[in-house]
């Protein structure tokens, strides 16, 4: 059963949506082939099957070795703007957290205040955590809240130290509550065309797992 589950996401990966126009299809296929081997997939909304598998706040996350990052950026400059989307990392070379700073927000205007919220399937690795800390220290006009489904390698002393540094740099780190998963479901997950938007169905242990991770995070921070 488990093995089956793990294969699901990779199969749908290449499945093209049926209802896109043909020209779009060709462009997409072309694009996909021209991409360098390390691909950061960005999009408006992520497929439901990825959400259900990757965002599950389970303790043992076998097969869940990708990071999915849904983001919302509010800028308060002359004209306030809200941008949203998601990133996933296909390969281990560039993590979604890094990709966010490299592609979505490559430069911060010092005259603009940025309020950023991420909903991420799991908390950042040490390298990404350090990068987040540095970015926040360098850009005082950046506010970052990271909502995570699971804690990644939280038992490692190195990881705990990196999370503490993020906190002291002003990053708010939170564990996603059932309502947060529902928010992501409504705002970042593809709904089938022409159907009523399907209601979010919480998994069995969503609340216990949230409490488990919340306690761990409180102990670390």
> Would you name the residues annotated as active-site residues?
97
Core vs surface per residue 92-112: b (16+ CB within 10 A) or e: eebbbbbbbbeebbeebeeee
End-to-end CA distance of the chain: 37
Q: Where are the beta strands (DSSP E) in the chain?
A: 40-43, 68-76, 81-89, 113-122, 142-150, 172-175
Indicate the SS3 state at residue 25: helix
Instruction: Measure Cα distances from 94 to 40, 79, 88, 102 in Å.
Output: 8, 32, 10, 10
- According to DSSP, the residues that pair with 144 across neighbouring strands are 116
């Amino acid at each position: 059963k488990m093995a089956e589950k793990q294969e699901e996401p990779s199969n749908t990966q290449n499945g093209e949506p049926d209802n896109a126009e043909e020209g779009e299809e060709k462009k997409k296929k072309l694009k996909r082939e021209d991409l360098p081997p390390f691909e950061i997939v960005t999009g408006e909304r992520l497929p439901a099957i990825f959400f259900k598998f990757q965002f599950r706040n389970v303790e043992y996350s076998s097969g869940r070795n990708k990071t999915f990052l849904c983001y919302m950026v509010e800028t308060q400059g002359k004209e306030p703007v809200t941008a949203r989307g998601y990133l996933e990392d296909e390969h281990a070379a560039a993590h979604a957290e890094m990709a966010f700073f490299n592609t979505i927000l490559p430069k911060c205007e010092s005259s603009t205040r940025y309020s950023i919220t991420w909903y991420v399937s799991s908390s950042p690795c040490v390298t990404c955590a350090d990068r987040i800390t540095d970015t926040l220290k360098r850009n005082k006009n950046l506010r970052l809240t990271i909502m995570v489904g699971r804690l990644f390698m939280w038992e490692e002393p190195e990881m705990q130290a990196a999370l503490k540094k993020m906190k002291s740099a002003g990053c708010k780190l939170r564990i996603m509550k059932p309502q947060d998963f529902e928010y992501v479901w409504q705002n970042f997950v593809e709904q089938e065309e022409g159907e009523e938007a399907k209601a979010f169905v919480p998994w069995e242990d969503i609340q216990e797992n949230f409490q488990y991770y919340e306690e761990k995070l409180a102990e670390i921070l």
